[in-house]
Amino acid sequence: MSVEAGYEEISILKEIAELLNEGTDTRAVLSGVLKKLLHVTGLQTGWIFLIDENGVHHLAADEALPPALANDNKLRMCQGKCWCVNKYNNRQLNKASNIMECKRIEDAIEENGGETCGLTHHATVPLRAGQERFGILNVGSPNKTHFEKNELALLEAVAYQIGTALKRIKLTQREQETALVTERNRLARDLHDSVNQLLFSLSLTARAGVEMTQHNEVKQTFSYIQDLAQDALGEMRALIWQLRPQGLENGLVSALRSYADMLGLSIETKVTGVASIPGKVEEALWRIGQEALANCKKHSQTTTAILFFHTSKDGVMMTITDTGCGFHYEENLEIPSLGLKNMKARTEALKGTFQLNSKPGSGTEIQIQIPF
The CATH number linked to 81 is 3.30.450.40
Question: Quick check: is 223 in a domain?
Answer: no
- Does pLDDT of 307 surpass 90? yes
Average pLDDT value for residue range 315-341: 81
pLDDT of residue 133: 92
Question: Quick check: is 228 in a domain?
Answer: no
End-to-end CA separation in angstroms for the chain: 46
- Does pLDDT of 249 surpass 70? no
Cβ-proximal residues to 194 (8 Å cutoff; 6+ apart), any chain: none
Question: Quick check: is 234 in a domain?
Answer: no
Q: Are residues 169 and 251 in the same domain?
A: no
Domain of 135 in residue numbering reads as 3-174
Question: Quick check: is 359 in a domain?
Answer: yes
Question: Quick check: is 214 in a domain?
Answer: no
pLDDT of residue 1: 45
Q: What is the mean pLDDT of the chain?
A: 84
- Does pLDDT of 338 surpass 90? no
Which residue intervals of the chain are DSSP H helices?
Answer: 3-22, 26-41, 67-78, 83-89, 103-110, 149-191, 197-212, 216-243, 252-263, 279-299, 338-349
Between 3-22 and 149-191, two packed helices, what is the crossing angle to 10 degrees?
A: 20
φ/ψ (deg, to 5) at 139: -140, 150
Q: Are residues 15 and 137 in the same domain?
A: yes
Q: Are residues 102 and 251 in the same domain?
A: no
Q: Are residues 15 and 154 in the same domain?
A: yes
pLDDT of residue 237: 73
Q: Are residues 20 and 163 in the same domain?
A: yes
Q: Are residues 168 and 56 in the same domain?
A: yes
Out of 174, 196, 225, a domain closes at 174
Average pLDDT value for residue range 15-30: 76
Q: Are residues 121 and 251 in the same domain?
A: no
Rounded to an integer, what distance in angstroms lies between the CA atom of residue 368 and that of residue 186?
30
- Does pLDDT of 247 surpass 80? no
Confidence of residue 8 (pLDDT cuts 50, 70, 90): low
Average pLDDT value for residue range 306-326: 90
- Does pLDDT of 53 surpass 70? yes
pLDDT of residue 231: 83
Task: Tell which residue, 33, 62, 193, has the closest CA to residue 138.
Answer: 62
Domain count of the fold of the chain: 2
Q: Are residues 141 and 259 in the same domain?
A: no
Q: Is 149 exposed, middle or buried (0-12, 13-18, 19+ CB in 10 A)?
A: exposed
pLDDT of residue 204: 87
Q: What is the pLDDT of residues 282-304, one digit of tens each?
A: 888 988 998 899 888 888 888 89
pLDDT of residue 361: 85
> Is residue 363 left, alpha or beta, with left meaning phi > 0 and alpha meaning psi from -120 to 50?
left
The CATH number linked to 294 is 3.30.565.10
Out of 159, 174, 189, a domain closes at 174
pTM of the model: 0.55
Answer with the residue of higher pLDDT: 9 or 231.
Answer: 231
Task: Tell which residue, 323, 298, 320, 325, has the closest CA to residue 309.
Answer: 320
Three-state secondary structure readout of 283-310: HHHHHHHHHHHHHHHHHCCCCEEEEEEE
pLDDT of residue 10: 65
Q: Are residues 261 and 131 in the same domain?
A: no
Rounded to an integer, what distance in angstroms lies between the CA atom of residue 150 and that of residue 45?
19
Question: Quick check: is 61 in a domain?
Answer: yes
Amino acid at 349: A
What does the radius of gyration of the chain's CA atoms come to, in whole angstroms? 29
Q: Contact, 193 vs 48, CB < 8 A?
A: no
Burial of 322-359, coded b for 16+ CB within 10 Å and e otherwise, reads: bbbbbbebeeeeebeeebbeebbebbeebebebebebe
Q: Is 112 exposed, middle or buried (0-12, 13-18, 19+ CB in 10 A)?
A: exposed
Answer with the residue of higher pLDDT: 81 or 159.
Answer: 159
Question: Quick check: is 318 in a domain?
Answer: yes
Rounded to an integer, what distance in angstroms lies between the CA atom of residue 141 and that of residue 151?
13
Percent of the chain with pLDDT over 70: 90
Q: What is the pLDDT of residues 122-163, one digit of tens each?
A: 999 999 988 889 999 999 999 888 888 888 888 888 898 888
Q: Are residues 12 and 146 in the same domain?
A: yes
The upper half-sphere exposure of residue 332, i.e. CA atoms within 13 Å in the direction of its Cβ, equals 0
Percent of the chain with pLDDT over 90: 19
Q: Contact, 138 vs 84, CB < 8 A?
A: yes
pLDDT of residue 336: 65
Question: Quick check: is 155 in a domain?
Answer: yes
Out of 141, 158, 174, a domain closes at 174
